[in-house]
Amino acid sequence: MTSDAEVRARLAGLPSASIPPEVREAIMARLAQESQEPQLADVVPLTPRHRRRLSGLLVAAAAAAFVMVLAVAGGGDPAPPVASAQPVVKAGAIYDPGPFAAQLRDRFLGAPAATKQTGTFADSPPEIVACTGSIDAFGEVLTLDAGVYGGQAAVVIVSTYPGDTEYEEVWVVNPQCGDADTDVIRHFLLDVDKSATRL
């Protein structure tokens, strides 16, 4: 068997191929040209939407890295991803912006699921994905409640909040929420299921 030292010695003894003069001249000319051209990059402002998306991507990347560390530490193959449960779709709510938080808690914890179609994006899993993607909702959707908010038709989305598992993220959006037609009426964090141990 040939050792690494013998291989290096044989490679060092090979004649080096010379670069054709025309190729050398072309390379040198291009390097000289690039050294004189200003290397400017476009600056894109970081909008609140970009910040939310970047924050969500960082959280998702950190979670994925943590899962991989656990899998490696355990010495076995990574466990297959578990499919998310389908969100509960409710309907018929009439929300008042004033006591909205209390109303939402009552319906989240006690209202039954809808027994028929709501006539909104909440009826279609692909449309739910399109809506949550358009508003940068990175958590798992728990509940969608189609009804009325402040006198206008709306759908309330309650999702997990990746930044703090004791709280949920609440979105109030238009019934046609999706890629092309999205209107966020209200958005905030709330301990909807009353699980928080601190304020």
HEC string of the chain equals CCCHHHHHHHHHHCCCCCCCHHHHHHHHHHHHHHHHCCCCCCCCCCCHHHHHHHHHHHHHHHHHHHHHHHHHHHCCCCCCCCCCCCCEEEEEEEECCCCHHHHHHHHHHHCCCCCCCCCCHHHCHHHHHHHHHHCCCCCCEEEEEEEEECCEEEEEEEEECCCCCCCEEEEEECCCCCCCCCCEEEEEEECCCCCCCCC
pLDDT at position 4 is 63
pLDDT in single tens digits along all 199 residues of the chain: 556 666 666 666 666 556 677 777 777 777 777 666 555 444 445 455 555 555 555 555 555 555 454 444 454 444 333 334 689 999 999 999 999 999 999 999 899 999 999 999 999 999 999 999 999 888 999 999 999 999 999 999 999 998 888 899 999 999 999 877 789 999 999 998 877 554 3
pLDDT for 53 equals 56
Per-residue confidence (pLDDT) for residue 178, from 0 to 100: 87
pLDDT reported for residue 125: 93
Whether the pTM exceeds 0.85: the reply is no
Residue boundaries of the structural domains of the chain: 88-190
What pLDDT is recorded for position 2?
Answer: 57
